[in-house]
Amino acid sequence: MHIPDGYLSPASCAVMYAAAAPFWYQASQKVKRVLNAKMVPLIALFAAFSFVIMMFNVPLPGGTTGHAVGSALVAIILGPWAAVIAVSVALAIQALFFGDGGILAFGANSFNMAVVMPFVGHYIYRWISGQSQITSPCRPIAAAIAGYIALTIAALFTAIELGLQPYLFKAADGTPLYAPYGPSVAIPAMMVPHLLVASVVEALVTGSVVAYLQRTNQPLLMLTIEFPAEAREKAVASPRTRILWIGLAILILLAPLGLLAPGTAWGEWGGEELQELGLGFIPEGLERLGGIWPAPIPDYELPGLNANLGYILSAAMGIVLVLLVTWLVSRMVVRRSTEI
Contact by Cβ (8 Å): 165, 9: yes
> What is residue 38's predicted lDDT score, i.e. its pLDDT?
66
Res 337 pLDDT > 80: no
What pLDDT was estimated at residue 340?
A: 43
- Residue 106 identity: F
Torsion of CA 30, 245, 70, 50, to 10 degrees: 80
How would residue 39 be classed by pLDDT, with cut points 50, 70 and 90? Answer: confident
Planar angle of CA 90, 100, 28, nearest 5 degrees? 25
Q: Beta 58-60 vs 64-66: how paired, if at all?
A: antiparallel
Is residue 21 within 8 Å of residue 115, measured between CB atoms?
no
pLDDT at residue number 235: 58
Tell me if 162 sits within 8 A of 179, measured CB to CB: yes
What's residue 244's pLDDT?
Answer: 83
43-63: per-residue pLDDT in tens?
A: 889 999 999 999 998 888 777
Its pTM stands at: 0.91
Mean per-residue pLDDT, 281-292: 87
Mean pLDDT of 254-274: 81
DSSP 176: B
Judged against a pLDDT cut of 70, whether residue 240 lies above it is answered with no
Q: Write the pLDDT tens digit of every residue in 209-222.
A: 999 999 888 888 87
Taking the alpha carbons of 58, 24, 217, 147 in that order, is the dihedral positive or negative?
negative
Q: Given a cut of 70, is residue 334 above it in pLDDT?
A: no
**What is the residue-averaged pLDDT of the chain?**
87
**For residue 178, pLDDT beyond 90:** yes
pLDDT at 131: 85
CATH number listed for the domain at residues 10-339: 1.10.1760.20
pLDDT over 70 percentage in the chain: 90
Q: Any idea of the CA torsion for 128, 140, 318, 110, to the nearest 10 degrees?
A: -10
Structural domain spans, the chain? 10-339
Asked whether the CA dihedral 85, 88, 93, 96 is positive or negative, the reply is negative
Range with the poorest average pLDDT among 16-20, 89-93, 191-195, 251-255:
251-255
**What contacts 260, CB < 8 A, 6 or more positions away?**
57
Q: What does residue 24 show for φ and ψ, rounded to 5 degrees?
A: -60, -45
| pLDDT given for residue 59 in this prediction | 84
Is residue 109's pLDDT more than 90?
yes
- pLDDT surpassing 50 at residue 300: yes
With a cut of 80, say whether residue 296 has pLDDT above it: yes
**291 vs 196 pLDDT, higher one:** 196
- Which residue in 152, 156, 147, 86 sits closest to 114, CA to CA? 86
- pLDDT at position 306, please? 87
